[in-house]
Amino acid sequence: MRMGLGRSVDYKKELEKAAKTMILVHEPDALIKMIVRMLVQKVRITHAGILLHDKARDTYILTVSKGAAGFKIPAGFARIDSDNPLVRFFKEGPDKKYFSEGVIIYGEAKKTAVSKGAEPRLRELAAKVAYQMEIYEAVACIPTYFRDELLGILLLGGKKSGGPFSRDELSFFMALASDVAMGIRNAQLFRELELELDKRKRLFINTTVALAAAIDAKDHYTHGHTARVTNLSLEIAQRLKNRNKYAINDKAMEDLQIASLLHDIGKIGIPESILNKEGSLNEEEHKKMREHPILGVTIIQAIKELEDAVMGVKYHHERFDGLGYPEGLKGENIPLIAAIISVADSYDAMTTDRPYRPAMQKDAALAEIKRLSGLQFNPRIVEIMAELSREDRL
């Protein structure tokens, strides 16, 4: 198929290529920019833009425009309401006696506006449509529908060759508009899903923080302990990630945040007489206190989203030498998030006052952490702690 300036365009091939690409683009703005760029470059028109429906405000906004000429109004500033003549024209349905292929061609709108054969109402609407097209310097307007919903209107400038659009070109635009509607709706749904997931994630994190606050409130000697352990755990994990991007990924970071916030949630099931006891615990009380990791698992294991974070809650009292609890895991068999929480938890416990002893100095606490490297603690984590200490970040 020949087009202006002697170029040949295989419309079927371009349509197939565009349709395949649209499926892969999940960002609405990026998708629209791609469509407009393709129209300007492949069809060789002076400029193009899209008036896209904003459902929340029930308006159509010029989302993007491209071309050396035309569209002097910046994208985002031009908007039309649902009662605008262009929108009314497509919602009411074009009269195919006067308008080709269900699209608006500027010349046809001008002719219809003065046609004695057209109904007065149609002449009036056509005149208003032509005026709107003059504002956007559009030669053709192509509707894009999703089912019965008018998602947007493609605004096309003239061909660089100066000639009119052919029937094949108009058919291409209509087919493209159908694919555009599917692509835009797909991208919008994907974005809505992302926003909903983000909203749920924030709600979940806030709920987790509230649970952590409930733990701190019960054990008044460790007020703020959970927040400090979480902050230190994330700092350690980020250092590990900086050293080796494969050591810990974004999902593991999220799991660590949740696990560290909830690592002591099992203490809700421990009597306050034990939690707040002045002096050392006896053997029976120690045994009861050791139950808190399993109690924590019992509380949160039913939440599917926490299946990986549970590992941090369950195993943060395991020891590198295998002498920890509840299962006596050893070395690298201890989940990394649990190994991280173990060090952060122990360091904070050492450096804060407890009912059975006063707080240790930071240097003394770090020295104890180093002494227990390879025994109680994972040496990799201890190395990170030493690095943080040298930088005065503990």
pLDDT tens readout for residues 201-219: 777 777 777 777 777 776 6
pLDDT at 30 over 60: yes
Q: What is the pLDDT of residues 283-307, one digit of tens each?
A: 999 999 999 999 999 988 877 778 8
Higher pLDDT, 32 or 85: 85
Supply the CATH number for residue 100's domain. 3.30.450.40
**Residues 244, 119: one domain?**
no
pLDDT band at 16 (very low <50, low <70, confident <90, very high): low
Diameter over CA atoms, the chain: 103
Which tens digits make up the pLDDT trace of 34-55? 777 777 777 788 888 888 888 8
Q: Which of 290, 352, 355, 279 shows the shortest CA–CA distance to 317?
A: 290
Average pLDDT (368-394) is 95
- Residue that is last in its domain, among 170, 190, 210: 190
Q: Tell me: pLDDT of 66 over 70.
A: no
Average pLDDT over the chain, rounded to an integer: 83
The answer to whether residue 70 scores a pLDDT higher than 60 is no
Pair 145, 186 in one domain: yes
Q: Across-strand partners of 152?
A: 52, 144
Domain that holds residue 237: 200-390
In a domain, 195, yes or no: no
How far apart are the C-alpha atoms of 387 and 394, rounded to whole Å?
A: 10
| pLDDT exceeds cutoff 80 at 356 | no
- Region 70-86: mean pLDDT is 71
* 292 C-beta neighbours (distance < 10 Å), count: 23
Report the C-alpha gap between 66 and 114 in whole angstroms. Answer: 32
pTM: 0.56
Nearest to 89, CA basis, from 143, 16, 27: 143
Reading the block at residue 368, the tokens are: 């104890």
The CATH number of residue 338's host domain is 1.10.3210.10
- Shared-domain flag, residues 95 and 18: yes
Clarify whether residues 120 and 235 are in a common domain. Answer: no
Strands 79-81 and 59-67: antiparallel
**265-282 pLDDT tens trace:** 888 888 888 887 888 889
